Amino acid sequence: MKKHEPRELTEYRESESSTGVRPTYDSMSSDLHEYVLSKLVEEQGGLCAYCMCRIPETDKKTGSTLKCTIEHIEPQSLTRGTENLKKELEYSNFLAVCSGNENRGALCCDKSRGNKKLFLTPLNPECNHLIQYSLSGKIQAAETIPDKEDRKELDYELNDILNLNDGKDLKAKRKSALDGMLSVLQKQHKDQDVEECRRKLRELETPRGQKVEYVGILIFWLKKHIQHLESRG
């Protein structure tokens, strides 16, 4: 995920030299906060950085919009009073995340995480190689990770810290997204066409606009299926 810091945020972070007042995340104007958040959402293809739901979310019962927020990869509570103090205003330390199911049931994403440190973040280039999905929609540490303790730690983050399986019926939603894609491919008799599967994979990995909701499980399945088709010759 490429991150291009908005000029307005850079100017705000460097404003102390002219104002004499140290800028902080909490003292950002609401306009600047919303602008930075909108840029993050745009860069992320309109998906929560953790669970990959569409953001901002729409409450299906009321039709109301559930507010998305800015998440600090390195929590503010762990950088204040340290040499990493300025990370609270570094764009590279920001992610756009969903409502976290706040006030609606089991918490997930940043609302479940709190201030705990993460071994794996969405900005880690190895992220997609370290996780896998089951056909039931479950996300878990990849079986290809050689160290058992590393797999255990990653599963702990996915389940206990971010609650990416039980929160918000996420397993069912991922399964529904996968079933929908498979239904289309099978209906068009293209699920056994390796070139068509490759085309679909490219479409999902480099979308022209917003990303498909829960795209992670779709990409994982297609890569695995393409390998299977290629192995058959």
Alpha helices, DSSP H only, in 45-162? Answer: 76-79, 109-113, 148-156
pLDDT for residue 17 is more than 90: no
pLDDT score of 1: 58
User: What contacts 16, CB < 8 A, 6 or more positions away?
Assistant: 22, 23
- Residue 39: predicted pLDDT: 96
- Give the pLDDT confidence of 108-143 residue by residue, as tens digits: 999 999 999 898 898 888 888 999 999 999 999 999
Q: What is the pLDDT of residues 186-208, one digit of tens each?
A: 988 889 999 999 999 999 999 98
Is 70 exceeded by the pLDDT of residue 145?
Answer: yes
**pLDDT for 56:** 94
Share of the chain above pLDDT 90, in %: 76
